Homo-oligomer: A and B are copies of this chain.
């Protein structure tokens, strides 16, 4: 399991709330190894636990290292994030681009994702230990992401690339052509019975209805609902005609 070998390294984070939010983002995305490098000491631990919510376990199990070098000493690939430009930062690629390579490496060795402090991000010195540099796509107008947002995007890209997420299966299967045609036949009859259309206009109207109902996937359950509506309309249309025949009313 590659994600187990992913370590998120926060370099000298300032706000406890952000660190807590980072823990939550990590847990949402199946990543649990948190390291804090060169901690400032005055981190607000209560705020961190409050924002971590159900991911306080990640915060409690965090490792602290005096230096960045120690925090990544046992890691193979070291990927740093930056929003700034300039020297050392030219070769930045997007997290989506880098994710497959990080996951492949993480099958065999620990991989570090580095995030700098909230005010200035990773320094040039910090970047020297990186084997890859990542830049999260963002606007020129406001390129700098909140720390926990940056962690979220990177962890999200790794989680999606890991293929662990299974798209929820529709409970009901797509209806077969035969089931759909049966349903449309009942609708055609029902729409005539309630006086919505007559022989002459039926074909045209039914094409419109088919177009409306065929735009998305139509499940077996959807078809059962639509058949139920048609059946009741057939009944109501029949009753209405009986009454009409009796009383001689015209609609």
> Which residues on A are within 8 Å of B, measured CB to CB?
17, 21, 24-25, 27-30, 51, 53-55, 85, 90-94, 96, 135-139, 141-146, 148-149, 152-153, 156, 159-160, 164-165, 167-168, 170-172, 217
Contacts and interface: CB of A to CB of B under 8 A. Distances in A.
A28 B149 contact: yes
A136 to B, nearest CB: 8
Copies of this chain assembled into the complex: 2
Q: What 4 A-B pairs come out closest when comparing CB atoms?
A: A137-B165, A27-B142, A28-B138, A30-B139
Contact of A153 (B21, B138, B153, B172): B153
A90 B168 contact: yes
Contact of A24 (B29, B55, B149, B156): B149
A145 B149 CA distance: 11
- Tell me the interface secondary structure of chain A in the complex: loop
Contacts of A24: 142, 145-146, 149
Contact of A137 (B137, B143, B149, B160): B160
A171 B28 CA distance: 37
Contacts of A54: 142, 144
A144 B53 CA distance: 10
A25 B141 contact: no
Nearest to A157: B156
A27 B145 CA distance: 9
A145 B90 contact: no
A193 to B, nearest CB: 29
Contacts of A135: 168
Most buried by B among A164, A167, A172: A167
